[in-house]
Structure formats: C-alpha cells, structure tokens
Amino acid sequence: MGAVCAVAHDCAALDDALDRGVDGIRPILRFSTEEFLVHTGAEVRDWVVQPSGGSAAWGLCRQFALRAAEEAASQARLVAGPPRDRIGLVLGTSLGEPDRDVHELAQDIAQQLGVAGPVVTISTACSSSTAAIGIARDLLAMDAADAVITGGADVLSPEVFAGFHALGVLSPGKCAPFSEPFGTTLGEGAGFLVLERSQSALARDAEPIATIAGYGLSADAHHETSPDPKGGGVYRAVRSALIDACLEPSDIGYVNAHGSGTEANDPSEWRGIQRALGGRASVPVSSTKGAIGHAQGAAGALEAIVTILTMRRGLVAPTLHFIRPRRFGPPDPVACSRPRPAVYDHALCLNSAFGGSNAALVVSRRPSARPEPRRRRPVEILGVGLVGPFGLAAGAAHANGLRSGGRVPPFALERVVPRADPHGLDPMSRFLTAAAALSLDDAGVRVTGRTGERTGLIAGAVRPSDESVRAFSDSVTERGLRQLSAHAFARIVLNASAGFCSKLLSLRGPLTVVSVGSGSGLAAALLGAEFLSTREDADLIIAAGVDELGPADDGEEPVEGAACLLLSRYGFSPRDGRRVRVAGWSVAGPCALDRAIAQVRTETDGEATAEHVFDERDFAGSARPAALPSALALAAATLAIRRGEIDRAWVVSDAGCSMSGALLLTA
Amino acid sequence: MNLRDGILAVRSSAAMSRLHHVHMVRIRGGGAFDAIDRIFTRDLYLRDGQMIHGLLLDEEARVFADCYLASDDQEFFLLGEGPDKHELLDYLRRHAAAFADVEILDAGEGHRLIGLDGPYAWELLARLVGQEVVGLPYLTFFFFEELLCCRAGKTGEFGYVIIAPEHTADDTWERLANAGGDLRVAEVTLDVLDHCALESWFFNVRAEGRRPVTPLELQLQWRISRRKEYVGSSSLQERRKSPVAQRLTCLVSDSPIQVDDVVRHGAAVVGQVVNAGFSPVRDDWVTLALLDTEYAYPGIADFRVGTEEIRARSVSPPVVNNRSLYVNPQVHSYATRHETDFPALRR
Amino acid sequence: MDPSLRALTERRRAMLDRVRTMLIERLNLSLTSEEIDPDTPLFGSGLALDSIDAVDLVIHLETDFGIRIPTDQAGRAELRTVNSIVDLALAVPEGPPDEPA
C-alpha cells in the first residue's frame, strides 16, 4: 500500500498519525482564501516538489499519485513479481491533473512505473477510488493481469474549493462527521494498493496484508449534488458488496463511512447503512475525514488503507472532532481521538459522490472463502440506442451510417423520454440519456421500481461536457472564484452526464464511469459484461460511449453523440427477437490486442468460421482520444449480426495507450 | 376547536384533519400516460415516487379541480379537490374516452385521507411511520406498511397526506392523536386549512377557484404547460392573445372585509374580493381580490373596500413567515423549540 | 389613475421585468417573461428552484441588483416569490448597479 495525504507522505507515517490522533486540517496556504468564509483544508504539507522527469507541466496530483503508487509497488516487491505486461493500473480520480483529460494521469503513472498491462481510470467524483479498487479486483478475476496497482488521487485546487464553498457544504471549523458543526473539509492526496490473486501472491512469497472480498456500486438517481435522503443508494451498494463477498450483514465488524460531515450526507448515509446491515445499531461506524479531510477521488483508497492499517492491528479508526451526536447518526461513531481496540474480520468502506454514484468495498483480514475462478454466465445484447450526426437511431439503423463524423443535429429529448424535463441539461447528458432510452425501447424493456434497482449504467467517456466546462470557466472569469456558477461546478466532473441519465431514467443499479482514452466505450461494455456475467445484483447494464464536441473541434471529422448497448444476463429477455450473444471478452495491456483475442479464443473455443472485425479506428474521425467510436463499432457489429448479415464479429480496440480490448459477438 | 386555535396549532405545532374534500382516483393501463397527458395541465415530468401539483380545466379554461398527480410504478393516482367524487370521475372518464387501454378507478372506495400540517408535523408522523419521513422531499411519497404517505400540503408548513385503507383509518387517526399529546396536536376542520392556505398564498379551488377566470388571472401559470395540448389549452391560447384584464392580488387591512366586497381606488371601481379571513397570527384581515391589472401591484396603500370603505393595502404574499421555513428536522424538535430564536410569524 | 400611483406601478412593472429577465437568463428557465406571474413562488412550488439554483440566485441578486442576502436560513426566507425579489430590489438604497441615473 502507499499513501500521501494531509498527515503523512507514506503508510508508516499515516499509521503513526492515526495513533497520535492528529488531523491535517489547517489554514490553506497554497492559494488565497481571503474572499471566502472558510479558510481551512487538509492540504498535503511540506511537499518537496519533484522534478517532472522529462514531461513538463505535471503538477501535484501526479506527484502525489506517483509517490503513493511507488510506495505500494515497492512494498509489494512488484519488481520481483509478475511480468510488466501482466501488471495493470486502475486509478480513481475526480478531476485528475488540471487541464488534462482524466485518463492521462493513469497513463503517465503507468509509464513511470513500467506497468504495461491494462490501464483504466474510473471517474465518479468522490467515489472514484472505491470503485477503482473493485474494478481492479475484476481485472484480476478476468485474468487480464496478475497484479493491479489500484487507488486514487486528487488535488485541492482553488476551483474545487470555490465550488464546494459555493454549494455551502464546507465546515466553518474542522470537519466533524456525524457531529457538529455541519460541513466538510476538503483534502487531497493519493492512496494505492497492489492487488494480486492469493495463489499468485503466495507463490512468490508475497505476504497479503488484507483481502478485497467484494464490492458494490449503485446509483441514487436523485439529484446532482444531494444524496437520496432515504439512503437507498448506499443501501443498495452495501447489499451488493455483501452479496459479492458472500457475507452476511452480521459478518461486518466495522464500517468506514463516507461521513463527509455535510448536513445532507451523514443522516442519509446512516439510514442506508442501517437498512443494509439489518438495523444492527451496535456496529462501530466512523469517518476518517476528520483526520485527512475529504480527499475527493482519493478518499476511497486512503480510507480503505486506514481501515486496513487499523484492522490488522485489532483496532477501529476513530471519528475526530466529535462533540455531540446529530439527531440521526450511528450510536457508536467511535468518538475518540485515537483508534480503539476491536477485533473483527470484515469491514465495509463506503463512499458517495456527486451525481449519486455510490461504492462500497468489503475488506477482510483473511483471504475469502469465495470460489475462484468465478462462474461465468452468458451475456447478451438486447438493445441498441444511438445518437449521432445521423440523428437518433435504434435497432433498425444501418451499420454504414455509423462511420461518418460530425455533430448531433438538434433533437427533442421529450420524444424519446417523455417524462424527462429536458431543460437545463448539457449536450452530453442529452446524448447519453436519449441513447440509453432508445436502447431500452429497442429491447422492449420498461424500467420501473424494481427493474430500475437492478439496471445499471457504465459510461465510457474521455471529457466532461464542453458546454458545462466552458460555462464554469466563464463564470470564474466573469465573476471570480467567490461567485462562480454552482450549477456549472456540479457538471465538470466526468460522471455528471451519467448521473443525469440515471436520474432521468430511474436507473438505480450499478453506476460508474470509465475512461481509457480511445476505446472507453468498449471498455464500458467489457466491464459491463464481466459484471453481469459474474454477479447477482444486476440484470441489465447499459454500456455507453459518449462524446460532446466543443466549438474548436471542427478541423478534423470527429463524431459526437452516444451509443448505448443494453447488456443483459442470460435468461433475462422480455421479448423475442434476434438476440446477440456476447460469447467472450478480454482485456489486455496496450498493444497486446492479439493477447486479448487469443484469450477469448481459448475461452470460447469457437470454430474457424468467417470472422468480421469491427475496429474502433474505423469509426473514429480523428486521432484525438474519444469514447464514442468504440461503442459505435460495437453497435455496428451488433446490428449486422441482428440483421443476419454475419454470424460472428470481433469488436476490438487498441487505439490508445491504456488497454486493448476484444469482445466476440455471435448470433 | 375554534378557528383561531386551529390556525395557531397549524402555525406552531401540528394539526390533523380529515380530508373528506379530497378524492383519490387511480389511473392505469397502457394508455394512461397519453390520456393523462391530454387532460392534466402540467408536463408529466415525473418519476416513480414523485408528485406534481396541477389543475384540471374546463373547455373555457376555468378551473375544474386542483390536483396532485403521482406516479406509482406502472400506474398513476390523482388527489383532486373542487368537484365532488362523481363529478371528478365523470370528468376524467369523459376526457379519457378517446384513449384505449385506460382504467379510471375510484380509489376513495376503501381508503380514507388524513392530513397532517404544521412545523412539527414531521415529528409526529415519524413516530408513526419511522424516521424515513424526515428526509422525504416535498411532493414525493412512500409506503409504510399499509399507509401511503405523501408530502404535500397547502398551509405553507410541513404537510402530509396519509392515505389509509378503510379498515385501518380509524386506528391510524387514533394512533396519531395519541402520539401527538406532547406536541399538542390539534384536530382541525377545512376552514382552518383554507385560512392557512389564504395566508400562505396557496390556491383555493373553492374560493377564488369558483370565479369565472382562468389560471392567467389567478397567477397560476406555473401550473399549466406551454408546450402541450390539454383540456382548456386552446381557450387559454385564445385568451393569451390579449393582455390579462384582472389579476388576483393580496390585500391586508385592519378592519373586517367580506367576500364579494367591491374594491375601489379613488373614484374608480377596480375589483372585487374573492377570499377573506382574519389572521390571528398577524392580527389583521387578509384578503384576495381580482383587481384590474393596472392596480394589481403590491405596495398600493389606499384601496377602499366594501360599503364601509375599509382601507386596505396591497402586499406581496405570502403574508406569514412560516415557522416551517426555519425548523430543521435534523436539529430541532417541538420539545426544544424555545431554545431557538425563531423569527416572528408575522411578515 | 392619479400620476403618483401610475409612477409607482410603472416603477414596479419595470423592476418586475428586470427580475424576470434575470431569472430566465441566469437560472436557465425555459419560460418567457409573461409566463412568470409576479407572485409565483420560487422554492417548493412555483418555479421550484433547487438548492443549486438558490446558490446561483443569491449570487445574481447581488451582482445584478445589489441585493445582499445573508447565507443563513433567515436570508433564504426573504425569498418567497418573484415579487419578494422585486420588493428587495426596490428597497436597495443606491439603486441597482446598472440602473440609469
């Protein structure tokens, strides 16, 4: 493990800081907070700025990430571990390195560490690294890598500070989760873990520190920045994680909550935890944010590390600054300044985010009893929904129309989603929502109450909405940080459009946003197929690729819009019609496409019938990284099989520097 | 309980009421969405578990009913007041006749509606249905055992409509009444709710709603869609071609004012009173009048009302500083209410 | 109608138009000015602005009208309807920033 945060630059120092009961919340020094009403944050202090080693203009976020990842890799003795192309990296970040696409950070860290396996970025604001750790576990289970470095990083920038300040959620003092005063304190840093399969680790005498026994994802489908007050999303994420870990609520001995301290989060999170754990009031529930602040995308990883450090030593981490309990909160918030003795085998780590994206991890002291390798059930594609330069299209679309670039012509979202109030949505949200609705219609699936809870969305994206980003920066330029647009701030995170889509369509199942640069759409489908194939908590997942062009993108012919594929577990087919089977899927490092294809061949032992290859590059109009082309390729292949033109198709992507992916479709 | 005490209970603690004047209708079937979309005045931007507050109009665009429409999984239900139950069902069936696969069902048969309003209404209801109600957003609903609890009210305070099956209705009422002892929960009648609606600028279908005017005069444009067709929309479109001649305006006065009193300014007759009541919170008279648009502005001090030429001035409603704006269920409770310096109720 | 009353209502109407324009442009409302009745509620019902809208609204009240609302609950309670904003705007002593002298 490796950690950089407000109280430590490595895990040993973090452990020590926990023992001493110190917090890293102090007046912010890096930028002026004079015009604001709050002046405190949990900045990483006394950081010696490292030379960038060749590539210019990398800032603190990357430095934090590199340091923590190096510490983790070193502790895991990765140099003596699996070959480089069998080591992957899954990084969670909210905004990454300023002025760069979020996926570039992970690519750079991978390069610096000599990691040549698959590199994936998960960007769902404050739940990013929690989800990242879960997905890293999936990469191992898929045999896409033998070890995965996973975690998260984010920096406390003036814009983020101003945004949270505008929303009125910053504490005037020090963040006091489950207590008073209300409010959170922003932090920063990076946390990484190295995950390996237990047999592989034991085989090379690497001693396991803990086990990631399971994870769960869910969507609130409620509001851009406020959580579902009933705690429904947290409840579903925890239930899913427990099912994934093959554990009962009574097995959980400690909960490390998101506990941001805001007025809205803590009571609703507690409600969700309480429901999920069967009303067991006695479980200790604490939040680390009083000590290290709210480290945004890095929070999940850092808090998981704190959980592991304390669990190993027979302790539970405390909640700092607890004066008196709020009306609705855990009866045992571990209200002390130092870790308290407790022996338990399993802990829950939770995080919630803007856009309603929740993630839960089950961390265990010992290897889990869960059978490996996992049973894989077949997955099918039931529906296709497309929004592009060709307008709106669904199952009847012709594959050739999907290869041209250009902008999406104006369309009325109400035609596709009659119940969605279309006003105020940015283009990216409109594209994604419309395409998702079209894919559901194409499959004849209606999402209501119960189905909605088991229907998820995994969106592949590279950049947030250009319109929203410009609205945000314009508001800063025109009115200054103190009076920036709160609306626009909520939309500059990569998962904003997925959050809107899930809300408008009432999709309450797993929700995440993945970025690998080019190929992100296919990456979403690969993760979605793996999810449905091996888990019990979702029946349907909409896998999407979505891009929005800015005004400057008119030089080449890139394409904008969204392509959604409705994936389903085998057996969940509400209507007859030519279903397309996802026969196999695989992920490998960059420039290792043949390896991925070979793995699928082995698993599917298919006959040598004529095969058609749908390559992402044929659908991309420019060299700039884009998420949509790979999803269009998948859509085109699906449609061709549906129409009986072909029987089998490969959909492949190896356009970026992150990962190669291959998916085999059959009739 | 008299009117004054009832109003004060709504404004300071919690009050229960039997909502005989509200009728519940269930609408289901594959054609339900399209049918309702063509009848109900608002755009149906609503998800499962949500409610929307709108109107039903006649073909001349006058108000027929004041309704909440709710989306409940595959169905809708409507809570309407204004017409009696049969008139409401008849209206809906008549207008839905053009659509296939629509069932309009009287849900009042077998259910009774209980209202709960007040700055601490949430506290009382939570004792019955659990803490979940505390976080319930406005215009949403949830099920607790056999009870359907909606957050909706017209008093400007925290308000809930509890829909109970007939066989548990009496028991539910009793349990609420018993649980609310320390909250001094009051049992109030419709006149109390109507007065609180008047003070808090909530449309009253039985008062101003009975006048031959449209939502344009009633300042209810927020309750009608501009983009779709529905019963009365073509009349409204016609009306919009010329400027509105009258607008509903709020007046206050120190002396009694009656409904139908004529309103004058100087020598001119400028309108008529359509709703009036004495406010014990403000210690003056609150009225609503339909005034000629050139006089329909707040801040005019010298209207003369009725044969006695009572002096009245126009104001921006609502005219009370609802305590519920300041009560935070995360922090406050009835028992500790004196520990907080709440602003005065009078605006 | 007497001239002083006419002046009062004119002033009121002009400010109402400015406030409605601000709401439409700044809060991205899909309505025209005439569609926003003067006593339309802002929160809960009426325009049904949410918590994020409230933040942006308070900012624009200050930048466009010189109205300062305290950030606590008491401040929020001043903002009930469109007319309540007009009341506040007319009460600002120096007059709103871009009103002609």
Domains in chain B: boundaries: 3-195, 245-323
DSSP letter for A661, please.
E
In a domain, A46, yes or no: no
Residues of A classed as catalytic: 126, 258, 294
Structure tokens, C54: 């409230």
Percentage with pLDDT > 90 across chain C = 69
* A21-A25-A26-A29 Cα dihedral, nearest 10 degrees: 130
pLDDT tens profile B166-204: 999 999 999 999 999 999 999 999 999 999 999 999 999
Percentage with pLDDT > 70 across chain A = 95
Those of residues 304-343 in B touching chain A at CB distance below 8 A are 329-331
| Integer Cα distance of B226 and C35 in angstroms | 9
Q: How many Cα atoms occupy the beta-carbon half-sphere of A649 within 13 Å?
A: 24
Kindly report the CATH number assigned to the domain that includes residue A653: 3.40.47.10
| Integer Cα distance of A148 and A115 in angstroms | 9
| Integer Cα distance of B21 and A435 in angstroms | 44
| Integer Cα distance of C5 and A160 in angstroms | 50
Q: How many domains does chain C have?
A: 1
* A534 lies in the same domain as A456: yes
**Measured between beta carbons, which residues in chain B are less than 8 angstroms from residue C40?**
219, 221-222
pLDDT at A223: 87
Is the model's pLDDT at A52 over the cut of 80? no
CB contacts < 8 A, A to B, total 47
Domain finish residue from A364, A391, A410: A364
Structure tokens, A350: 């939770």
Kindly report the CATH number assigned to the domain that includes residue C21: 1.10.1200.10
Among the partner residues A263, A271, A506, nearest to B330 by beta-carbon distance: A263
* A273 lies in the same domain as A391: no
In a domain, C97, yes or no: no
What is B121-163 written as a DSSP string?
HHHHHHHHH-GGGGGPPTTBEEEETTEEEEE--SSSS-EEEEE
Q: How many Cα atoms occupy the beta-carbon half-sphere of A202 within 13 Å?
A: 6
Among the partner residues C2, C77, C87, nearest to B326 by beta-carbon distance: C77
The fold of B3-195 is Gyrase A; domain 2 (3.30.1360)
Is the model's pLDDT at A57 over the cut of 60? no
Q: How many domains does chain A have?
A: 2
CATH 3.30.1120.80 fits B245-323, yes or no: no
Among the partner residues A267, A419, A506, nearest to B330 by beta-carbon distance: A267
pLDDT at B43: 96
Structure tokens, A273: 């935890």
Is the model's pLDDT at A368 over the cut of 80? no
In a domain, A399, yes or no: yes
Region A120-144 average pLDDT: 96
The confidence band for C101, taking pLDDT boundaries of 50, 70 and 90, is very low
pLDDT tens profile C58-92: 999 999 999 988 766 667 678 999 999 999 999 98
For tokens 């998981």, the residue is A304
Pick from A392-401, A480-489, B19-28: least confident: A392-401
pLDDT at C94: 65
Enter the pTM of the model: 0.95
In a domain, C98, yes or no: no
One-letter-per-residue 3-state SS of B286-299? EEEEEEEHHHCCCC
What's the order of all strands across the beta sheet hosting B141-144? B141-144, B147-151, B159-165, B111-117, B15-18, B186-188
* A204 lies in the same domain as A319: yes
In a domain, A244, yes or no: yes
Query: Highest-confidence range of A412-416, A568-572, B284-288, by mean pLDDT?
Result: B284-288
In a domain, A384, yes or no: yes
In a domain, C41, yes or no: yes
Structure tokens, A193: 């873990």
Interface residue C97 vs chain A (CB under 8 A): no
pLDDT tens profile A622-638: 888 999 999 999 999 99
* A403 lies in the same domain as A331: no
C-alpha distances in angstroms, B96 versus B38, B73, B105?
8, 20, 12
What's the ipTM?
0.95
| Integer Cα distance of C41 and C76 in angstroms | 13
- Could you list the residue range(s) of the whole structural domain that residue C73 is in? 3-91
The confidence band for C2, taking pLDDT boundaries of 50, 70 and 90, is confident
Best A448, A505, A506 residue to mutate vs chain B (most B CBs within 10 Å): A448
pLDDT tens profile A69-118: 999 999 999 988 899 999 999 999 999 998 899 999 999 999 999 999 99
By CA distance, what is C62's nearest residue in A? Answer: A483
C-alpha distances in angstroms, B66 versus A113, B21, B55, B148, B199?
66, 11, 5, 20, 18
> A487 vs C62: CB contact, 8 Å cut-off?
no
> C55 vs A166: CB contact, 8 Å cut-off?
yes
| Residue of A536 and B121 predicted with greater confidence | B121
Query: What's the gap in Å between the CA of B68 and the closest CA on chain C?
Result: 12
Of the candidates A225, A337, A349, the residue with the CA atom closest to the CA atom of residue A291: A337
**Measured between beta carbons, which residues in chain B are less than 8 angstroms from residue A448?**
48, 73-74
Interface residue C91 vs chain B (CB under 8 A): no
DSSP letter for B118, please.
S
Interface residue C45 vs chain A (CB under 8 A): no
> B220 vs C37: CB contact, 8 Å cut-off?
yes
- Could you list the residue range(s) of the whole structural domain that residue A91 is in? 2-30+61-364
| Integer Cα distance of A201 and B188 in angstroms | 71
| Integer Cα distance of A217 and A514 in angstroms | 13
**Measured between beta carbons, which residues in chain C are less than 8 angstroms from residue A354?**
none
In a domain, A193, yes or no: yes
Is the model's pLDDT at A609 over the cut of 80? no
C-alpha distances in angstroms, B258 versus A312, B59, B306?
77, 30, 8
- Residue A129, burial from CB neighbour count under 10 angstroms (0-12, 13-18, 19+): buried
Residues in chain C: 101
Mean pLDDT of all residues belonging to chain C:
88
| Integer Cα distance of A169 and A227 in angstroms | 13
pLDDT at A620: 84
> B132 vs A419: CB contact, 8 Å cut-off?
no
Is the model's pLDDT at A64 over the cut of 70? yes
| Integer Cα distance of A431 and A426 in angstroms | 9
* A265 lies in the same domain as A405: no
The stretches in chain B having pLDDT less than 70 are none
In a domain, C67, yes or no: yes
Among the partner residues C28, C29, C55, nearest to A167 by beta-carbon distance: C55
| Torsion sign, CA atoms A605, A533, A299, A224 | positive
